[in-house]
Each structure stands twice: as structure tokens, then as C-alpha cells.
Amino acid sequence: MKVLLIDADSVIPNIALMKLSAWHKSLGNNVELMRVNLPYYPNRKKTTFVAPSADKTYCSVVFDGNADYIIGDNIIFGGTGFDLTIKIPAEADEFDPDYSIYPNNDTSYGFITRGCIRNCSFCKVPKKEGYIHKVASVESIVRHKKVKFLDNNILALPEHKEILTELVEKNIKCQFNQGLDIRLLDSENSDLLSKINYIGEYIFAFDNWKYKTIIEKKMNFLSWRRPYQLKFFVYIHPEMPLAETVKRIVWLKENQCLPYIMRDISCWESENSNFFVDLAAYCNQVHLFKKMEFSVFLEKRHKNKERIEKSKRLWNENL
């Protein structure tokens, strides 16, 4: 039997598809993966993908709306961007991921935990995964010299310090790339984080200006960090006060932390859409954010004086 796996828009190896691959190969089926690379950004051109015929076809969609661009007969869709309730067959979920379908990959990916203790309005995790619970061991995930854990709130797990201790003792080169909850930092888990063989920046979140006080308090536990070694996801929505968005970015720059702008999809339809684009382009390019101010960046980015002046005005009015 020929099995076709369609990766609509994952930017990293898709764990569900790798498990489906391992399962079907164990049944003697021929498995082929096709990556479509549909973008998340609604202003990017998206080309419809017509799936070739196969005896069974699965398609994983991460971002809302991208399933509309995948066409074919009897496709089994799943993923966060399609339906939170659909899961891969239980038999497939028992298998280790088949990394061979992503031959250029050199990193392991996986979840030690699923779920979260928070209930952020923009996040699908609580609806999809429930309250935080452990689902796998570190050992079961690591298949390469590097590993990126996809946990949404590892520090909320009661036994997280034992897991961090294991990472330190085994010198596992890793990162928690979905971010760490800075509100749950204490002296002990911060010390363990500092000793891990960590990849890149330590990622946290600054999703609302109201968290400034607790973030400042918890930063005291991060005295070991180097300049710009911390990165903060900065969620923005058109209905958020612009002043609170600008102040978060200014605060991060003053404290030598990197922002990473996470735009709600509604930003593209807002009256300030160009400003949000400029803000993301500035903040999400580390070398530019570190060496220049926003106004200088705008002058270098655009020739359109009206566009420059509008973004400058919105920035200055909300400082």
C-alpha cells in the first residue's frame, strides 16, 4: 500500500507524521513525505497543492486556513490548524518518530510534557492538551546530538527540577524552544537552567505589559545571563494599547533582552498593519535590533517618506 504524508506548513520535522511513517512502515507499506511549505503570514502568496493519488493520505496543518490550499481525494487532515480534537491512531502514537523522512534534519524534537497551567486567550494548548502532565522521558526523545523540547510550560510540572537536573548531569545539548514561564522562576531552577548545555537564547514571554512588575522581580534570578542571552516572545494584537506594545519593546532593549514579535493574524487587517510589519521586521532581526534605534531602521528600510513618518509617529506617540 502506498501512503502519502503531506506536511502543509511545519517549519520543523512534524512528529505526528513521523510516527505515522514509522507505523505504516512496520506494516510493510511504502511511505512518501511531501512538504508544501505554506506560509503562516496571510499577505504571502499561497499556491494550491494538488495531492497525487495514494492508497492513504494524511495531511498535517499547523496554521489556520492552510488546509484550504491542500486538495485531493480522501485526505485525512489533522493538526492545530485544522481540528484540535483529531489525533493520530493510538497504534501509531506508540511508535518512535521516523526521522528518515526528514533526511537533512540533525536535531531531535519532542514533548516531555503536554498541556499548561495557564489559559491565555490566544493559545490553543489548554483546549488541545489540557492541564500540564508528563508524557515522555528525556531518554525517549533524544536521537541526535541536539534536542529541542516543544513543551509549552515545563517549569509548571511539579517534578521539573528533576528533569532539569538530568539534562545537566547528562550534558544534553538542548533548548526549550516554545519558551519558559518566567513567572515560575526561583533560585533553584534558574541555577539549573544556567548549567544546561543550552542552544541559543533562553526564551521567555512578555505577552502583556501588566506582567512587567513580576518579570522585573524574576530577572533577579537571572544574574548569570549575558547581554542579549534572553529572548522574549512579545504577543501583539490590534486591540492591545499601542503604548503597551511599544513600552514592552523599549523595556527589553533597555535590559539587553531580545524581543520576538508574535503577531495575531488580525494585525494584517488592522489600520496599523504597516506599523506592525515594521515592528516585527525590526525586532525579529537580532543584528538590527541590537545596533540601531527604530527610527534609524525605518530610514534604512523604506524610501517611502509617508510610510516612514507614520511608523515613526506611532512609535513616538506611544513611548
| pLDDT one digit per residue (tens) for the chain, 319 residues | 999 999 999 999 999 999 999 999 999 999 999 999 999 888 788 999 999 999 999 999 999 999 999 999 999 999 999 998 899 999 999 999 999 999 999 999 999 999 999 988 888 888 889 999 999 999 999 999 999 999 999 999 999 999 999 999 999 999 999 999 999 999 999 999 999 999 999 999 999 999 999 999 999 999 999 999 999 999 999 999 999 999 999 999 999 999 999 999 999 999 999 999 999 999 999 999 999 999 999 999 999 999 999 999 999 999 9
Model confidence, pTM: 0.94
Amino acid, res. 91: E
Q: Supply the pLDDT for residue 43.
A: 79
CB–CB of 288/282 below 8 Å? yes
Residue 96 contacts residue 13 (beta carbons within 8 Å)? no
Structural domain spans, the chain: 2-93, 138-317
248-272: b (≥16 Cβ within 10 Å) or e: bbebbbeeebbbbbbbbeebeeeeb
Q: Which long-range contacts (CB under 8 A, 24 or more apart) does 161-165 make?
A: 161/188, 161/189, 161/192, 163/112, 163/138, 164/189, 164/192, 164/193, 164/196, 165/192
Measured at the CA of 209, the angle between CA 204 and CA 210, to 5 degrees, comes to 100
pLDDT in tens, 39-56: 988 878 899 999 999 999
- At 165-192, the pLDDT tens digits run 999 999 999 999 999 999 999 999 999 9
State the SS3 of the chain. Answer: CEEEEEECCCCCCCHHHHHHHHHHHHCCCEEEEEECCCCCCCCCCCCCEECCCCCEEEEECCCCCHHHHEECCCEEEEECCCECCCCCCHHHHCCCCCHHHCCCCCEEEECCEECCCCCCCCCCHHHHHCCCEECCCHHHHCCCCEEEECCCCHHHCCCHHHHHHHHHHCCCEEEECCCCCHHHCCHHHHHHHHHCCECCCEEEECCCHHHHHHHHHHHHHHCCCCCCCEEEEEEECCCCCHHHHHHHHHHHHHCCCEEEEEECHHHHHCCCHHHHHHHHHHHCCHHHHHHCCHHHHHHHHCCCHHHHHHHHHHHHHCC
Closest CA to 185 of 234, 139, 223: 223
